[in-house]
Structure 1
Amino acid sequence: MHRADHPLSRRALLDVTGVVVAAGLTAGCTSDSARPGRPAPSAADTPTQVPATGRHQAGVTLPHTAQRNLLAVVADLDAAVAPGPLLAELGQAIRTLTAGNDPRLLGLPPGDLTVTVGVGPRLVRAAGASLPGATDLPRFSRERITPQARGGDLLLQICASDALLVPVAAAALLDQTRDRIRERWRQSGHRGTNVPIGKGLTAPRNLLGFIDGIVGPHTSAEQQRDLWLAGPPAVAGGTIAVLRRMELDLPRFAALSVAEQEAVFGRRRASGAPLSGGSVSSGPELGAKTPDGRYLVPVDAHVRRAHSAMVGAGLMLRRSYSTDEPAPGLLFISFQNDLRTFTATLTRMDTSDALLPYTTTTASGTFLILPGFDRKRPLGSQLFG
């Protein structure tokens, strides 16, 4: 991770890119795919391109299965910078990068590269104090967050199946805007192997060994209800994102027995099925009890404390990416059309969720993910036009 309170220089960005590309090429020379006699990857192995334009920005529900690699960059706009022109310029750059028409990709095919842009509460309030996205996140327990790692004006979420594409695209976008933004913090992350969870859906395991992101607004009806903003017009088609970078106490969690670990989550570690029975796609039966009156899903289990029915809020589309520096942990990202969905859930978890004692949050922010854009409707024009 790199933190900065000043713009990165062009040379620094190019040096970082060169090192990453060189490292990737070196790793490729020793991988199975490069062994003598092994066929080169075919075009069928290249992920399908994801259109950057449309009603919604790419990188939330498109592609259907989230890419394996992510870099989140949080920055502030300099005081004299107008957000509208900057965002329109970013949108144009994103279109050329994801279409493969930008020489700054250094010859790499764009694959399923997506760049998703969000703006923080300060900028949203400048456009309208009552707009969705204008509210800062409150503080919660188990946080160790420096002022530099809290909040921010601008979010760039860069995702791709090809790990090399992520830093290359980031270098291009940050170099283009380096005289107008100041980076706060960044975090890269990776998702594990996807596990089928039913109805054509998959989810990865997290660093604690459990399947992550089983419950969410997966159907179109659920997404219209809980994910996408319907209005006002300035934000229609957008959503609200929350980012939380967490350190995980892996040794202490690993010291628990499997049964104790499962009681923390309320699910079976191997299958993802709730402790109340059924399959990974089954909803937990929170009222189910043993013959002696104990809840099958413990009262402090994560699946109970965070359950939307218990919270009285909507569903979150949750994405977690495992991290290995600055410490083993995860970057948690949730998308919802009401910030209360997240804040009410974490407030309830804060009181007694068995998972939280194994986590420490070290960075946090919320961002309005801007509505989609196209050639005639630049990125951010609905809000800052």
Structure 2
Amino acid sequence: MHRADRQPSRRAFLDATGATVAAGLLGGCSSGSSQPDRSDPTTAAASTPVPATGRHQAGVTLPHSAQRNLLAVVVDLDTAVAPGPLLAELGEAIHALTAGSDPRLLGLSPGDLTVTVGVGPRLVRTVGAALPGAADLPRFSRERIAPQDRGGDLLIQICADDALLVPVAAAALLDRAGDRVRERWRQYGRRGTEVSIAKGVTAPRNLLGFIDGIVGPHTTAEQERDLWLAGPAAVAGGTLAVLRRMELDLTRFAALSVAEQEAVFGRHRASGVPLSGGTVASGPRLGAKTPDGRYLVPADAHVRRANPTMVGVGLMLRRSYSIDEPVPGVLFISFQNDLRTFTATLTRMDTSDALLPFTTTTASATFLILPGFGQQHPLGSALFG
């Protein structure tokens, strides 16, 4: 049977999408909205569905508390493949999967499944070299990256509380793409236990035992300023993603005393509170000193070196997922509307950040996360239509 004959029809997709767009726009990402208890494994099957359509793609700020499991798949397009039709088909498949109407879900409930699609710099440059997302990531120190693990044409990010959904959805999407794409690399990751850092805002612990992703654009105003692209029209509503897979030297870090570990991060390990005091959600007081003149937050502490006010950039929405294959480490993903937010931060960290010596980057890529899609606007149509 021809591949297209096995898919839900485009008409069915469009008919269903109209209602879902309205639900997605009304649902929003209110920090006060009720969320399932992600610490309870029995809630995975009952997770609240996340609309696939709307102004923004799901999987960035929706759901408000990120799902526990992620699979990032990076692929290249054959040079003869037109991105527009492929992206439109992927959008149809995403809608069918998240709506539960695709038989390739094998009877699984879609739950809070989200799929987020981004396009790499090579594809963006075919439309315009000055567009956001057209620039490649520069190279940084402490990288050991094989050629196939750097860059890529297409990112497919799949997230769900139910770990079974992730590979099933990936297989369905890659089947839809067929031989038009070639896989570069993929990475599974999972988030640690969520810790409350402010009303309606949580962050997980990482493999090093510290709360991860405390600082970020959590309010709607901050997200409009630092996360979402306002223009040009072809990318408005999208954002820029950076992916970095890093090995962690857990053995050497664990050999440090708790006080030494806290000096590396600039926060207390148990609570996440800055070494300068306050609450977990309060910013570190970088000028605060001890009576003998030493900074409470050390000069090379991670929270100082990566602090956006010290770097002179906006906020980035950071997501870290713990990994154990190929070796223990972290898949770091950041979303921002200016690539310099990431590159300037890492450049400053490169000069003196106490955390970096415990890391080695083994994969790296950046993608333009496409604007949201819906009934009248297939995925990618604003850019490749």
TM-score, normalised to structure 2, is 0.89
Structure 2 counterpart of 1:283: 283
Structure 2 counterpart of 1:7: none
Partner Cα distance (2:42, 2:206) in 1: 28
SS at structure 2 position matched to 1:383: helix
Alpha-carbon displacement from aligned partner over 1:169-192 (angstroms, at most 9, x marks no partner)? 000001121210000000000001
Structure 2 counterpart of 1:344: 344
Report if aligned partners of 2:45, 2:109 keep a CA contact under 8 Å in 1. Answer: no
Alignment map for 1:81-120 (pairs within 5 Å): 81-120=81-120
Alpha-carbon displacement from aligned partner over 1:248-278 (angstroms, at most 9, x marks no partner)? 0000000000000000000000000000001
Structure 2 counterpart of 1:204: 204
Alpha-carbon displacement from aligned partner over 1:3-54 (angstroms, at most 9, x marks no partner)? xxxxxxxxxxxxxxxxxxxxxxxxxxxxxxxxxxxxx968x96001000000
Alignment map for 1:114-133 (pairs within 5 Å): 114-133=114-133
Structure 1 counterpart of 2:60: 60
Partner Cα distance (2:266, 2:99) in 1: 43
Structure 1 counterpart of 2:185: 185
Is residue 144 of structure 2 the alignment partner of residue 144 of structure 1? yes
Report if aligned partners of 2:89, 2:176 keep a CA contact under 8 Å in 1. Answer: no
Q: Which one-letter code corresponds to 2:144 in the other structure? A: R
Structure 1 counterpart of 2:256: 256
Structure 1 counterpart of 2:6: none
Partner Cα distance (1:41, 1:222) in 2: 34
Structure 2 counterpart of 1:13: none
SS at structure 2 position matched to 1:177: helix
Structure 1 counterpart of 2:238: 238
Alpha-carbon displacement from aligned partner over 1:204-223 (angstroms, at most 9, x marks no partner)? 00000000000000000000
Partner Cα distance (2:185, 2:45) in 1: 33
Structure 2 counterpart of 1:51: 51
Q: Which one-letter code corresponds to 1:71 in the other structure? A: L
Q: Which one-letter code corresponds to 2:216 in the other structure? A: G
- Give 5+ residue unaligned stretches, structure 1: 1-39
Q: Which one-letter code corresponds to 2:318 in the other structure? A: R
Partner Cα distance (2:375, 2:224) in 1: 25
SS at structure 1 position matched to 2:178: coil
Q: Which one-letter code corresponds to 1:374 in the other structure? A: G
Structure 2 counterpart of 1:30: none
Q: Where do 4+ consecutive residues of structure 1 move more than 4 Å?
A: none
SS at structure 2 position matched to 1:117: strand
Partner Cα distance (1:187, 1:308) in 2: 28
Report if aligned partners of 2:317, 2:335 keep a CA contact under 8 Å in 1. Answer: yes
Alpha-carbon displacement from aligned partner over 1:203-247 (angstroms, at most 9, x marks no partner)? 000000000000000000000000000000000000000000000
Is residue 323 of structure 2 the alignment partner of residue 333 of structure 1? no
Cα distance, 1:334 vs structure 2: 0.1
Partner Cα distance (2:198, 2:167) in 1: 33
Partner Cα distance (2:309, 2:229) in 1: 21
Cα distance, 1:162 vs structure 2: 0.1
Report if aligned partners of 2:45, 2:162 keep a CA contact under 8 Å in 1. Answer: no
Partner Cα distance (1:182, 1:107) in 2: 28
Q: How many residues align?
A: 345
Partner Cα distance (1:127, 1:267) in 2: 44
Structure 2 counterpart of 1:321: 321
Partner Cα distance (1:243, 1:66) in 2: 16
Partner Cα distance (1:266, 1:70) in 2: 28
- Give 5+ residue unaligned stretches, structure 2: 1-40
Partner Cα distance (2:198, 2:50) in 1: 24
Cα distance, 1:126 vs structure 2: 0.3
Distance 1:101 1:141, change over 3 A: same
Partner Cα distance (2:179, 2:368) in 1: 23
Is residue 153 of structure 2 the alignment partner of residue 153 of structure 1? yes
Alpha-carbon displacement from aligned partner over 1:115-153 (angstroms, at most 9, x marks no partner)? 000000000000111000000000000000011000000
Partner Cα distance (1:82, 1:174) in 2: 16
SS at structure 2 position matched to 1:332: strand
SS at structure 1 position matched to 2:170: helix
Partner Cα distance (2:376, 2:263) in 1: 52
Structure 2 counterpart of 1:73: 73
Alignment map for 1:30-45 (pairs within 5 Å): none
Q: Which one-letter code corresponds to 2:186 in the other structure? A: R
Structure 2 counterpart of 1:220: 220
Partner Cα distance (1:284, 1:228) in 2: 26
Partner Cα distance (2:101, 2:177) in 1: 19
